[in-house]
A and B are shown apart, each in its own frame.
Chain A
C-alpha cells in the first residue's frame, strides 16, 4: 500500500528525520495559514499516489486522457519544469497570493494530475503539501527495500540524487551503493555515519546524516514498510541534511498489526472496482484493456490464463485471482464485478481446485448466471478438487455454458466467443 508524501514526512518527523517546515492543506484557509507561517518562498506539491508527478500536468478531468497520450508520446517536452508557464504537480511560488494562485487549480474538484504512471483518467489530488523552500547545495538518494533473494533489508544510496535511480544505475552503476543490512543488528547510527562518509558528505554533516539514516531504518521496521525512499535528501547551503521528498510503501500483509493502516490509507487514490473486489474478499482484481472477463484461482494461473488468451489472439479484460473459494457467494461477487464491466464480451472461468473446491465454484456459477442474468457467453473450465461433482452440477443445471477440460481448448473457446459477439441463450430450466 502506498501513502502520500505528506504522510511519509509525518512518519519521518516523528522519528527525528529532518524534513522541511510545512504541512498539508485541502482548503484555501488551511493553505493561507501554512503560507503565513512558512512563506514567503514555498514549494507546493500535489499529493497523489502515482509517480512521475513533477513531469506530469494538472488539467481538467475531461482533458486528462488527451494529456496522458501527449505525455506518453513526448515525455521530453514535459521534463522537470517546476517554474515557467507549463508546469507539473510540483511548483515554486513566492508570497501568499502567488502561492494561492497555484494552489487553487490543484484543489479544484475537477482537476486531475496526469503523469505517465497515472493512466488516462489521471489521479485526483487528495491534498497539497506546502513547504518552505530549501536552499540546496547537493542532492543525494537513499532507500531501504527488501532483498527477496537474500532475505534481508537492502539500503541503496547514491551521491547522484534527485533523478531516477534506475537511470543512474544504467549510466553510472559505480555511483550506486548497495548495503545489505544484518537484521539482527539493524542499522545503528555508526553504520549510518559510515555510509554518510562513503557518500562524500562534508565532515560537519556526517553525524546528522548518520542519525537520519538510522531513523529512516526505524520507520522501515516500526511501520512494517516494504519501501522507504528519499529522493532526494539534500545537503543545504548551511551544511544541514534534509529529506525534501519521501515515499513509503507499507506491507498490506502486516496491516493487522497497525489497525489496518486505516489512518494512512486514501481510498480516493484507488480504483473503485478494485476496492469492491477487496471488500468481497477476492484475492486480487486489476482492470485491463481487453474484452474477455477472467475469473481464475491463484495469481500464477491467472497470469497464465491471460498469456494463453493472448496466444490464441484474445485480450483479457481483467486479471482476477479469486483466492481460495470455499463459499459460492464469492464466485457470485467475482462475476458481478466482471458483468458490470461494459467492455466484457465473453467470460472465462478457469478454476483448478487445490484448497478451493470446484463443486462449490460450479454452484456459484449456476447461481450467478440466474441471479445476475448474465448475457455474455460463458466458458467454464474446471479441474482439481471435487471436479466430478463440479462438472455434474454444471451439467445438471441446464445453463448454457461451454466447457473444456484443457486450458488451451478452453482459451480458444473463450476467444471465439468474444469474437462472435453473440449473447448467451436463455436458461433452459
Chain B
C-alpha cells in the first residue's frame, strides 16, 4: 500500500502541546491509528482522550514503543528540543520518524544525520508538512485533509504549502494521490527527494510522480540523476523561485542561490534532460499531470481506486 505508511502504521505522537494536540485530533478524525503519546509531565495525566479515541501517554519513547508497538513517530516538539527528540527515537529504533518542527539548528541536524547513518530509522523532515496517504487514511503531519483524495500519483516536495497547492490542483483535475511526502526545506534533512523517488518507482500503487523543488542546494540535480538512471514512471516537475532575485534568502534556509547550480534554470534543465515533464507555472501542475497520465493511459476516473 504505497510508500512509507500503510494500514499497519501505528503512530506515536511526541510533543502534546497545543499544536500537537490540535493536529493529532485531525489525524484521528482522518482515521489514522494513533497508539501512543510521549510528553514528559503531560498535564492530561497518563492518557489522551478525544471523542471515542484514547491512547496512553508515556514519559519516554522506549517505554511507549515497548508497550504499544508503535512503528512511526510524529514529532511536534519545539526547535530547541527537536533534535533530542529525533535522537531519542533513533535510540528506540523507531523505523520511521517524521519531524514537523521548523527552526532546528543546523549543527543539531549534523548530529542527527550522524546518528541516522548507522541506525534502523528513517527520518522525514524537519521543517516539513509530514506524510499523508489517503487510501489508508494515514495522516502523519499537518495537512489540510479535505484537499487529498486516494489515487495513483505520488507527490514529493521540499515546501509544505506547495504540497497542498499541487494536490489541490490534482484533486480538481480528478487525479488522486498514493502518498504525499514533504521532505522539508532545511539544508540538512533526513530522506531527500531522490530517496522518495526511488520508493515511488518500486511502489505498485504509484503510476506517476509530482516533484516540487525550489532554488538552492543540489537536491534536484540528484533527483534528476536518479530519474535519468532508474525511473520508468513519468515525473512532472516544478521548481519554485525562478523569479527570485539572486543572493537573497527566501525564507527556507535551504533556498539560497549558491552559484549557478542553485538556480531554477539549472535545476529545470537537469530535470528536463532526465526526461521529466516541466510545469513552468505552479498553477499548471494539475493540468500537466493530467495530460501526462492520459498519454500513458494511466488516467483513472475518480472513484475507480479502492
Contacts and interface: CB of A to CB of B under 8 A. Distances in A.
Given A183-B110, A251-B105, A321-B251, A301 B283 contact: no
B144 A300 contact: no
A385 B105 CA distance: 29
* Residue from A151, A152, A226 with most neighbouring chain B CB atoms (10 Å): A151
Contact of A352 (B164, B280, B283): B164
A411 interface: yes
Interface in A273-309: 283-284, 286, 288, 296-308
A253 interface: yes
Chain B, interface residues (CB within 8 Å), range: 35 or more
B107 A303 contact: no
Q: Which of A152, A305, A310, A319 has the most CB of B within 10 A?
A: A319
A257 B103 CA distance: 13
Given A146-B187, A354-B129, A355-B142, A319 B244 contact: yes
B165 interface: yes
Interface in A165-186: 166, 183-184
Contacts of A316: 243
Q: Is the interface of A mostly helix, strand, loop or mixed?
A: mixed
A383 B114 contact: no
A383 B147 contact: yes
Interface string B110-144: 11111000000000000001000000000001111
A226 B240 contact: no
A333 to B, nearest CB: 17
Contact of A304 (B105, B147, B240): B240
A353 interface: yes
Max count, chain B CB within 10 A of own CB: residue among A117, A355, A383? A355
Interface string A303-342: 1111110110000100101000000000000000000000
A308 B282 CA distance: 7
Interface in B139-187: 141-144, 146-147, 157-162, 164-165, 168-169, 172, 185-187
A306 B264 CA distance: 13
A257 B283 contact: no
A337 B106 CA distance: 30
A251 to B, nearest CB: 5
B248 A286 contact: yes
A153 interface: yes
Q: Contact residue range for chain A? A: 35 or more
A303 B214 contact: yes
Given A307-B240, A307-B242, A319-B250, A146 B164 contact: no
Nearest to B145: A385
Contact of B215 (A253, A303, A305, A408): A303
Contacts of A153: 110
A148 interface: yes
B162 A221 contact: no
A49 B247 CA distance: 13
B25 interface: no
Given A148-B188, A224-B105, A303 B245 contact: no
A319 B185 CA distance: 17
A304 B238 CA distance: 9
A406 interface: yes
Given A149-B219, A303-B244, A284 B250 contact: yes
Contacts of B79: 253, 256
A208 interface: no
A407 interface: yes
Interface stretch (B50-58, B60-68, B253-261): B253-261
A254 interface: yes
B121 to A, nearest CB: 14
Interface of A: 117, 146, 148-153, 166, 183-184, 221, 224, 226, 251, 253-254, 256-257, 283-284, 286, 288, 296-308, 310-311, 316, 319, 321, 352-355, 383-385, 387, 406-408, 411
Given A301-B165, A307-B282, A321-B250, 7 more contacts: A299-B185, A303-B243, A307-B241, A352-B161, A354-B164, A384-B164, A385-B144
22 contacts: A146-B110, A148-B186, A151-B109, A152-B113, A153-B110, A224-B106, A254-B105, A254-B106, A284-B249, A299-B185, A300-B161, A300-B240, A303-B244, A306-B243, A307-B282, A310-B242, A310-B243, A319-B250, A352-B168, A383-B147, A387-B144, A407-B169
